[in-house]
Chains A and B, each alone.
Chain A
Amino acid sequence: MIGSHLLSVLLAAGDTAHASDHGHHSAHFPVALPTEGLGYAGLVLALPLIAMILNGVYAISGVRSKLPAWTTVACLGTAFAVVLNLYLKADIEHPVVVPLFEWINLSWGTGAISAPFGLYLDSLTLLWMLFVTGLGTLIALYASEYMESDVGPAYCRFFGGVSIFLLAMGCLVMGDNLLTLYLGWEGVGFASYMLIGYHFTKPSAVAAAKKAFIVNRIGDLGLALGIYLTWLHFGTLEYSKLFEMLQADGAMAAAQQAMAGGWEVAIIPFLLMAGAFGKSAQLPFYIWLPDAMEGPTPVSALIHAATMVTAGVYLLVRTFPMLELHPAAAPTVAWVGGATALLAATIGMAQYDIKRVMAYSTVSQLGYMFMGVGVLSTFGAAAHVFTHAFFKAVLFLTCGAIMHGFAGQLDLRVLRGLRHVKGWRIVVWTMFYASLCLAGFPIISSGYWSKDVILAEAFANGRPILGGIGLLTAGLTAYYTFRVWFRVCCGPKPDDHDLAKMMGDDHHGDDHHDEGHGEEDHHHHMPHAPKWAVNLVLSVISLAAIGSILLVPEHGWLEHMVAKSSGAGGVGANHHDLPADAGFWADPHGWMKYVASTVGLLGMAVAAWLHLFNRSAADRLRATLLASPLKAVVRAMENKWYVDELYNALIRMPLKIKGHALHMLDRYVLDILVVDGLGRLPKMIGRTLSPLQNGVLQSYAASMAGGVILIALLILVLPMLLDLLGGAA
């Protein structure tokens, strides 16, 4: 009986197959068609969901083995296989939409808000999903060993969090409309919150998790408002329809849309940008990312280096046609990216915690990617995302291995000579190769190829100052990267005594459960080298980083992938046909190879001088600088330019004070003074008049007589008074 109507209401899937009635292929890039037969793409989302649920079940049923890890690795690995299969099977020339189910679908009269839950499969989606699921699988494998001391509920929680992350990231990248993207956007934010706060007994971890979520929410508000405006102006949130509208009448369509819509349309790219800057840790929102290193290192590698933080770049490449809605939008992105790159690099130079160095370097490299989008090179941006994902993952994972082996020790002033220690070979040399990539070592490093594209495009786009900043940052990057490697891996060979002294005071960065540790206490005094899973993952990702060299160069696979997507407008946008006799300096793509190599090598040379050949020179230099008038700058760099303090003083504290003030206002003025005051009014009137009730008969009589007289007077005098007043008026 209950079945009939109510169930149909609750289950109202209605017309699930959401109509998409266009088959128009535009000049720039193909517009999506709905398709049959690719429904299994939904598995990419379903598998992490299954892993998540299973991890929850394991947690409840008290599984105390590595089962959660293997489940997660299996699910994510299968998801990767599905993505690979999709890549091979799907025709990347023609984006397709795979409808899954109806999510939000409202219509009234002529208006509608429609956000079907569908997958938008084009080359950009596949590119992103390939490295997201691939790295996700590998890092989950790495974590199976890294987190092994936490086997139990916490282990389930960790892999549950990783699964949620992959699910949300899948929604973000594969969703076919902006609302699904927003769903994933907040979802990865939550996963990041859970995983940063993994060591929940540590107040600093809880604070970092909170900070990450809140700072991201600020950007998210921008994104949400951008989505509202997009819906208001374009009437749809689905990419295929949006792109069709923006491209319908040729390249100028976006500009025309902007003209027609006024400032409310022109502001859309800036709002989307705010979301991107939040998620990708750019100025002014970057402050959450360094703190996010409180999370376990695999999380830092996966979420806060390789995948989630590139969501902002993805968003801007995905909505690249909308960037043209305002002429200042792209330059803004470029400048914010450039400024962040430089700022973060300067902070990274002055940090001693190697994981923090890597965190700032991530912020800085993300700055490059935004610079790439801003100078209209979506190819450069995507290429750098792709290469960076691999080598930065390796860097974090090696840091993690060191941290794991040395009981939480991350100080580059303490660690040394790892090269000479048995069992660390793979860590040392994969780290070396990844450092080469980050530093942009010529030819053999993947970072060199992708970074060069961005720098060259900056010059080709007519932004030499920005290009100059990029080059300077490249030099600084090379310096701080090798500062870490030389300090940690080189130097005199440590003996057992030295190694014991290097140990941190923390077991695996977390010591909140102490059962079963008593007997292996003696292990704490000596570092332990990584085992097979860590070494395997490091080797595989390093190989992938090497392999990515083949995919990245111009006119290669990656450029093709981007050119077939919504980022097509940013492939070859700055390309001008040069006359045959143009000089060497006319084509930035030509000379950048040499200049960037030189700058990178210079940075490495300085690092080698200060930290390899002459290991005390750096300290002497620091002492000299601190004695010089540059003292303030050095101090500021070491203290991260006091940005956190500034935000705290300018935003957080005033808000907190406002909160307290409003609370006081609410309690004392509104409630006690006004409300209770009004409530007390009748009581007060009663109090004032109560002496009249004195029980004496005569006074009652007197007041009665007085009342009668008063009434009589009113009746007699009032009309006269009114007459008088009326007469006067």
Chain B
Amino acid sequence: MSPLLLILIPLLSAVSVAFAPRGVAFRVATISTLVTLAVSLIIASDFGHWYDDGFGLVTELSWLPSIGASFDMHADAPAMWLVLLSTVLMPVCVIGSKTAIKERVREYYAWLLVLEAAMLGVFLAKNLLFFYVAFEFTLVPMYFLIAGWGGSNRASASIKFFLYTFTGSMLTLAGLAYVAWRFADASGGWSFDIPALTAFASVDLSATEQFWVMMAMLAGFAVKVPLFPVHTWLPLAHTEAPTAGSVVLAGVLLKLGTYGLFRFVLPMTPVGVVEAVPAIGALATIGVVYGALICWVQEDVKKLVAYSSVSHLGFCVLGLFALNPSGLQGSILYMINHGLSTGALFLLIGMVYERYHTRDMNRLGGLVANMPIWSAFMVFFVLSSLAVPGLNGFVSEFLCLIGAFSATPDNAQWPGLLGPWYAVFAGTGMILAAMYLLYLTGRLVWGPYRAPPADKNSGLPTDLSSREIGLLLPLALMCVWLGVQPSGLMRTLEPSVERTLAAYPELVPTQVESMAVLEEVNGG
């Protein structure tokens, strides 16, 4: 089945939702996301490159051949997993919005579907321009979702979200355009084919060029991740976004940043990367601790979870820049796990918000007395977020940390530029995570019951409705599954990861030597 369907189905249904009668909008959107999910599962089951490093699903669709722009698509195993993550989360978002969104329903679901198309475009793009267009186009529906259905401060949140990430990705565009221009210069014709450009850039660009191209790409991707200190758009956007918006934002949109790092930064500019690894590692580590400490003093539940993303994604970036397979595999798994558990946490908070219209922990507490099922899910996903072994978070966090830990220059097989200290400092994030997440559960789930009167118009039962349970249960099962049987997934990531890292075992020692020389010169 053509991967084009994955983009066309949501796009076309977005159009039909926009013009359909108001009453059926929800149904059309639900069916469309479920169909997309089914299609993605079928495509995944036919995917022939789970166990090698090749790209499958290659589809060609021309756009502007004269400048090399096209809608070509392909995917390797990590991309396939992220596609699946997106297609799994989208029905959850749509169905989760059933009672929360009561006005301008058609626009709302149309934007959600457009968002899905754009996200899938990012993961499936084979052409750089297609990638970039899709990457930027995610901003538009998200902007409208926040601005149209957000909280009280939605205007400034949506503008900040848009401008901040847009500014970053303009620089990314500049960097990528430079690579394309150099390629055209060298080969005599324009092309935006990602594999070709990657192969070209990693070899033919000088060290200085690679460094600056990497910096330009980082500008966009780091904002998207978000890496400390360019994270400040995130808490605001999360707090103001409607629940489904937060779920997609945490679940998939942040992964566009880490996916960009994995797909472009690491393989395209290895010489630049080895120069920047210690600095990026330090920022990621600081982000872990910084985000966690801020979480601990929040009163707004949603803000707490938003800041926890800053902390969690720090682990993810640390794993990526460990430059060894365990770190990278852990990091990709982290993307999926964070999508599931943080997505679910936002969903859970949204469910409480629908009932009590507050997210202030001073006004909410002891909800287990009224909502035992909700509380059970809450505790479960908190554990998953805490990286308790046996659940999904553990495997990825463990691999990211062990990756960073073993990324020492004297590591024989996969020399790296981080080392134990990075892992130790990031590891304190484990303790801090326990502190803020148990603070959250301690106040929200346990303790004496306190809550403002429930909204009678919401039409929701006191505890979760079967629709809501039906949303959370699959996510919970996936969390258990990935915690108990991660090996199958991990094995599919391995070849692509090794391909991505191919250049590094030789580059890192050279970099270490040149650093040593530099130190000698400076010291002498």
Q: A contacts B directly in the complex (CB < 8 Å)?
A: yes
Q: Which A positions have Cβ atoms within 8 angstroms of B?
A: 1-14, 59-60, 101-111, 113, 153, 179, 182-183, 185-187, 190, 193, 197, 200-201, 203, 206-207, 209-210, 213-214, 217-218, 220-221, 224-225, 228-229, 231-232, 264, 655-656, 658-660, 662-663, 666, 670-671, 675-676, 679
CB-based contact A6/B232 at 8 Å: no
Query: For residues 360 through 376 of chain B, which have their beta carbon under 8 Å from a beta carbon of chain A?
Result: 366, 368-369, 372-373
Q: Could you tell me the distance in whole angstroms from the C-beta of B413 to the nearest C-beta in chain A?
A: 6
Of residues 423 through 464 on chain B, the ones whose CB sits less than 8 Å from some CB of chain A are 423-424, 427-428, 430-431, 434-435, 438-439, 442, 445-449
Closest to B449 in A: A201
**Contacts A224-B427, A225-B423 known; A110 to B435 CB distance under 8 Å?**
no
A206 to B439, CA, bound (A): 10
B268 lies within 8 A of chain A by Cβ: no
Q: Output the nearest chain B residue to A657 by Cβ-Cβ distance.
A: B297
Q: Does B487 interact with chain A (Cβ within 8 Å)?
A: yes
A153-B372, A185-B389 known; 13 new pairs, CB 8 Å cut-off, are A5-B45, A5-B48, A9-B50, A12-B487, A101-B485, A111-B414, A201-B366, A225-B420, A264-B420, A662-B293, A663-B297, A666-B232, A675-B232
Flag if A11 contacts B488 (CB, 8 Å).
yes
Q: Which of B38-73 touch A at CB < 8 Å?
A: 41-42, 44-48, 50
Residues of B contacting A666 with CB < 8 Å? Answer: 232, 290, 294
Contact between chains at A655 and B446 (CB < 8 Å): no
Task: Assess whether B424 is in contact with A1, with CB atoms less than 8 Å apart.
Answer: no
CB atoms of A179 and B488 under 8 A apart: no
Q: Are the C-beta atoms of A228 and B232 separated by less than 8 Å?
A: no
| Interchain CB contact under 8 A, A5 and B50 | yes
Docked CA distance A60–B295 (Å):
33
A610 to B295 alpha-carbon distance, docked (Å): 52
User: Contact at A6–B41, with CB atoms within 8 Å?
Assistant: yes
Closest to B290 in A: A662
Q: How far is the CA of A104 from the CA of B325 in the complex (A)?
A: 14
- Chain B residues whose CB sits within 8 angstroms of the CB of A224 once the complex forms: 398, 401, 427, 430
Q: Which of A182, A193, A656 meets B296, CB within 8 Å?
A: A656
**Contacting residue for A206 out of B402, B405, B442, CB 8 A:** B442
Once A3-B45, A183-B390, A187-B390 are accepted as A-B contacts, the answer to whether A102 and B50 lie under 8 Å apart by CB is no
The reply to whether B163 and A217 contact each other, CB–CB distance below 8 Å, is no
With A2-B41, A656-B297: A11-B485 Cβ-Cβ less than 8 Å? yes
* Distance of A87 Cα from B497 Cα, bound (Å): 45
CB atoms of B50 and A106 under 8 A apart: no
Kindly list chain A residues whose C-beta atoms are within 8 Å of the C-beta of B420: 225, 229, 264
Structural contact, B405 and A217, CB atoms closer than 8 A: no
Identity of the chain B residue whose Cβ is nearest the Cβ of A678 in the assembled complex:
B167
Q: In this assembly, does B22 line the interface, its C-beta being within 8 Å of a C-beta of chain A? A: no
Contacts of A2 in B (CB 8 A): 41-42, 45
B447, A1: Cβ atoms under 8 Å? no
Is the Cβ of A113 less than 8 Å from the Cβ of B326? yes
Whole-angstrom distance between the Cβ of A133 and the nearest chain B Cβ? 20
Given contacts A108-B325, A213-B434, A214-B435, contact A659 B446 (CB under 8 A): no
C-alpha spacing A12/B489, complex, angstroms: 8
> How many A-B Cβ pairs are below 8 Å?
193
Give bound CA distance, A11 to B445, whole Å. Answer: 35
Q: Is B486 in contact with chain A by the CB < 8 A criterion?
A: yes
Known: A9-B50, A104-B395, A675-B232. Contact between A655 and B293, CB under 8 A? yes
Known: A103-B484, A217-B431, A671-B232. A183 touches B442 (CB 8 A): no
Q: Could you name 13 residue pairs across A and B whose Cβ atoms are closer than 8 Å?
A: A1-B42, A2-B41, A6-B44, A12-B485, A12-B491, A14-B491, A106-B494, A108-B326, A200-B366, A209-B438, A224-B430, A225-B427, A675-B164
Chain B residues with Cβ under 8 A from A675's Cβ? 160, 164, 232-233
A183 close to B389 (CB less than 8 A): yes
Encode B327-354 as 1/0 by CB contact (under 8 A) with A. 0010000000000000000000000000
With A104-B395, A113-B326, A228-B401 already in contact, the answer to whether A200 and B484 are too (CB < 8 A) is no
In the complex, chain A residues whose CB is within 8 Å of the CB of B448: 201, 203
Q: Is B468 an interface residue (CB 8 A)?
A: no
B388 within 8 A of A: yes
Which chain A residues lie closer than 8 Å to B405 at the CB level? 225, 228-229, 232
In the complex, which residue of chain B has the Cβ closest to the Cβ of A232? Answer: B406
Residue among A197, A200, A221, A660 making CB contact with B297, cutoff 8 Å:
A660
Given contacts A6-B44, A221-B430, A111 and B494 within 8 Å (CB-CB): no
Whole-angstrom CA separation of A221 from B298 in the bound complex:
24
- The CA-CA distance from A670 to B428 in the complex, in Å, is 23
Query: Which A residues touch B414, using CB under 8 A?
Result: 111
Complex Cα spacing A7 to B448, Å: 45
CB within 8 Å for A679 and B160 given contacts A9-B489, A659-B293: yes
B contact residues around A107 at 8 Å (CB):
494
Cβ-defined contact, B402 with A658, below 8 A? no
Chain B residue with the shortest CB-CB distance to A59? B372
State whether A670 touches B395 (Cβ < 8 A): no
CA distance A693 to B233 in the complex (A): 34
Cβ of B492 within 8 Å of any chain A Cβ, yes or no, is: yes
Contact partner of B326 among A60, A106, A179, A676, CB < 8 A?
A: A106
* Residue-wise interface mask of B (218-240) relative to A, using a CB-CB cutoff of 8 A (1 in contact, 0 not): 00000000000100110010000
B158 CB to nearest A CB, Å: 13
User: With the chains together, A209 CA to B379 CA distance in Å?
Assistant: 13
Question: In the complex, what distance in Å separates the CA atom of A101 from the CA atom of B485?
Answer: 9
Q: Least Cβ distance of A685 to chain B in Å? A: 16
Whole-angstrom distance between the alpha carbons of A466 and B25 in the complex? Answer: 76
CB interface residues, B 383-421, toward A, < 8 Å: 383, 388-390, 394-395, 398-399, 401-402, 405-406, 413-414, 420
B514 to chain A, nearest CB (A): 25
Closest to B493 in A: A106
Among B394, B413, B497, point to the contact of A111 (Cβ < 8 A). B413
CB of B408 to closest CB in A, whole Å: 9
Q: Is B136 an interface residue (CB 8 A)?
A: no
- A108-B498, A200-B446, A224-B401 given as contacts; is B388 within 8 A of A190 (CB)? yes
Give the docked Cα–Cα distance between A6 and B388 (Å). 27
Q: Is B19 an interface residue (CB 8 A)?
A: no
B490 close to chain A: CB less than 8 A: yes
